[in-house]
Amino acid sequence: MTPAGWAAAGAGVLVATNLASQAIALWRLRRPLQHSALLDTLPPVTIVRPVRGIEAFSRETAISGLELDYPRYSTIFCVADAQDPIVPLIEELVGVYGSGKVRLIVGDVPVSANPKLNNCVRGWEEATTDWVILADSNVLMPKDYIQRMLAAWRPDTGLVCSTPAGSRPQSFGAEVECAFLNAFQARWQYVGEALGLGFAQGKSMLWNKPFLDANGGIAALGAEIAEDAASTKLVRAAGKHVHLVGQPFEQPLGPRRLADAVQRQFRWARLRRVTFLPFFAMEIIAAPLLPAVLAFWGASALGLAPWLAALLVLALWYAGDILLSAATGWFLNWRSPLAMLVRDIAFPGIWAYAFVGGEVSWRGNAMKISTDGDNRLNDAAPGLTTVNAKISD
């Protein structure tokens, strides 16, 4: 076979793999709601939600978790700083819904280099139920939120999670973030789970409290800078599996600058690179740059003009993304193909920079993520937090 023929064949394999992943994700996401023995018992549940600052949908997402159609549950909001601007809103909700249903705990416990995890510790310790959900403040909870979490629990489950589904973007930057969160990241999360390689996602995490407490407690999730990476490794070490909810829960985005969306993607890419290097290294073939370049080089073997061969790759790639998004109810508008293109132009640079760059921005804090040594708390010069992930390269 000629070099052009090999290039064309490589492009075809990558395109076929991508289409197969979209089909697997669609099958998994369109599966009817499953029932489980745990769901049938309707056990009491505690929701622990770390909060910090006011976001575009803070009131709506907070209230969504207080009006669920579930008979026995309570919510604990955790805030690190009593002067945080979110505190008056939470205090208002405590007054409206009652202290028996919602509580506010102020003050974190520095068990790790992860500020969100530190913010959850006291809420976890105060929870008296066997089932606890750790949920980010920007998760929009549907009425059957808890039922859907419980329904995904199986006898071999160690953790049930939900990846975020980006929704309600109010700027093109937010639409690009939707393109990252939905047809790219959520799709591959569900493909991995379908293939027996479930990865935790920190947005919504259903834990059996006795199980986690027996395996080091919530502080054990500080073994990695990202609590979802630590959760994945802890569950696998216990011989259990991470399972995902039938459909991911919404994360309304509002207005976001494109630069901020890219910065978040770099932070997450860097975290994936230092916690799951072999899987992260393969992410580059999940983007259309390589197959498009191969198709361009191998166009003569296909009897096509180079630009047309590359365009054909992109058309098949984005047609699958659009069909998957439409079939699952994920955000779509007339600009979505352009947002997907911008995503895929940015991603190779994000992926490459994750191997050499270390400094990221996390909620306004400069953080340097390195790959040697133990996790440290605020051990750099003022204004810079250095975080060392406990893995070897």
What structural domains does the chain harbor?
26-256 (3.90.550.10), 269-388 (no CATH)
Contact 267, 362 (CB under 8 A): yes
**What's the pLDDT at 380?**
31
**What's the pLDDT at 359?**
57
Q: How far is CA 318 from the centre of its chain?
A: 22
- DSSP letters spanning 45-63: EEEEEE--S--TTHHHHHH
Mark the ranges of the chain whose per-residue pLDDT is less than 50: 372-393
Q: How far is CA 256 from the centre of its chain?
A: 17
What is the amino acid identity at position 151? Answer: A
Alpha-helical runs (H) found in the chain: 3-29, 37-41, 58-64, 87-97, 115-126, 145-151, 172-179, 187-194, 209-214, 227-237, 258-275, 277-281, 289-297, 299-302, 306-328, 336-356
**What's the pLDDT at 360?**
53
**What's the pLDDT at 361?**
53
Of 140, 130, 174, 146, nearest to 60 by C-alpha is 140
What are the structure tokens assigned to 229, written together?
């990476």
Contact 25, 191 (CB under 8 A): yes
**What's the pLDDT at 327?**
96
Task: Compute the C-alpha angle 155/250/99, nearest 5°.
Answer: 80
What are the structure tokens assigned to 296, written together?
């361009």
Question: Hey, is 250 helix, strand or coil?
Answer: strand
